[in-house]
């Protein structure tokens, strides 16, 4: 490599000065947080020994670093909250779930999932689902969507030997009790149904169903009524779009509160 003539005087060139200044500020942006961390652990007695004329420059440098550190995006403050909402349907295309005549749980909750996702996207939220249209991926795929989501909700329908069994409930961990109750109430109000459990919340740790993988990984499972109850099944088929819109509104408000 051959250097330009008078390269020792290159610092006088405007292009070199501008380049050096740009490099300085770029380095300052990259390492502003590290510099501040080091500066904070320097004993005050050592700081007091810095000559006054140098201290002024150091003070200015620290001030600029603080501003840049504040403006720089900090990954730890963006840990996935509000990144996306995960909406999934219980069971799968190969597992119909509970059945009542021609009605299959997996098909009904897939329709509900699609309706909720529609309203969420219409509001501007980013949504991820375990399939589109009639596609309903297995539980393993649904669980993977929980990681990185701000909230994850899966839909199911209950079944019982008694055709009179009825009501809406949401199974969730204690940390999501309030949200679980709000989701259940939205659905119950739309269907004209009652709330089961603690105002619509079922604590997984106290449920006879044991530990559900979707809930254990941080999600919520909404039971949209009893497929075995012909009255609730009819209400679902007649009003599931209304219930989906009401439930979506709860999630939209939940997301707004996180901002």
128 C-beta neighbours (distance < 10 Å), count: 17
199 C-beta neighbours (distance < 10 Å), count: 15
In whole angstroms, what is the distance from residue 246 CA to residue 100 CA? Answer: 26
Cα-to-chain-centroid distance, residue 211: 22
Are 168 and 191 spatial neighbours (Cβ–Cβ below 8 Å)?
yes
> Helix and strand tally (H, E) in the chain?
8, 8
Are 226 and 165 spatial neighbours (Cβ–Cβ below 8 Å)?
yes
Tokens 């509000």 sit at which residue? 82
pLDDT of amino acid 81: 42
DSSP string of 30-91, one letter each residue:
HHHHHHHHHHHHS-HHHHHTS-HHHHHHHHHHHHHHHHHHHHS--GGG-SSTTT-EEEEESS
Domains of the chain, earliest start first: 8-72 (no CATH), 85-258 (3.40.630.40)
Torsion over CA: 161, 165, 167, 171 (sign) = negative
252 C-beta neighbours (distance < 10 Å), count: 17
Which two structure tokens, joined as six digits, stand for 194? Answer: 């009652």
207 C-beta neighbours (distance < 10 Å), count: 14
pLDDT of amino acid 78: 39
In whole angstroms, what is the distance from residue 200 CA to residue 182 CA? Answer: 8
Beta sheet of 85-89, edge-to-edge order: 127-129, 85-89, 151-158, 220-226, 169-172, 201-203
Which of helix, strand or coil describes residue 234? helix
Tokens 């300052």 sit at which residue? 28
pLDDT of amino acid 54: 58
What tens-digit pLDDT sequence spans the chain (259 residues)? Answer: 555 555 455 545 555 454 555 555 555 555 555 554 554 545 556 656 667 665 565 556 655 555 555 455 444 333 444 489 999 999 999 999 999 999 999 999 999 999 999 999 999 999 999 999 999 999 999 999 999 999 999 999 999 999 999 999 999 999 999 999 999 999 999 999 999 999 999 998 877 666 899 999 999 999 999 999 999 999 999 999 999 999 999 999 999 998 7
Are 169 and 200 spatial neighbours (Cβ–Cβ below 8 Å)?
yes
pLDDT of amino acid 258: 87
Which two structure tokens, joined as six digits, stand for 32? Answer: 């502003």
């Amino acid at each position: 490599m051959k250097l330009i003539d008078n390269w020792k005087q290159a610092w006088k060139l405007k292009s070199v000065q501008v380049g050096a200044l740009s490099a300085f500020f770029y380095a300052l942006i990259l390492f502003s947080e590290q510099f501040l961390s080091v500066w904070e652990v320097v004993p005050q007695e050592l700081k007091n020994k810095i000559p006054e004329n140098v201290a002024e420059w150091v003070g200015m440098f620290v001030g600029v670093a603080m501003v840049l550190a504040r403006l720089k995006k900090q990954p730890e403050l963006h840990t996935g909250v509000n990144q996306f909402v995960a909406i999934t349907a219980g069971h799968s295309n190969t597992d119909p779930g509970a059945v009542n005549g021609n009605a299959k749980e997996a098909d009904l909750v897939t329709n509900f999932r699609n309706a909720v996702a529609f309203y969420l996207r219409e509001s501007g939220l980013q949504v991820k689902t375990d399939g589109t249209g009639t596609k309903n991926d297995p539980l393993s795929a649904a669980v993977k969507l929980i990681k990185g989501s701000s909230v994850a909700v899966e839909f199911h329908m209950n079944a019982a030997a008694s055709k009179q069994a009825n009501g809406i409930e949401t199974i969730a961990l204690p940390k999501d009790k309030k949200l679980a109750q709000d989701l259940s109430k939205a659905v119950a109000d739309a269907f004209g149904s009652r709330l089961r459990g603690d105002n619509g919340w079922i604590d997984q740790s106290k449920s006879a169903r044991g530990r559900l993988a979707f809930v254990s990984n941080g999600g919520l499972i909404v039971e949209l009524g009893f497929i075995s109850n012909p009255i609730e099944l009819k209400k679902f088929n007649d009003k599931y779009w209304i219930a989906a819109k009401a439930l979506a509104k709860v999630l939209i408000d939940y997301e707004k509160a996180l901002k």
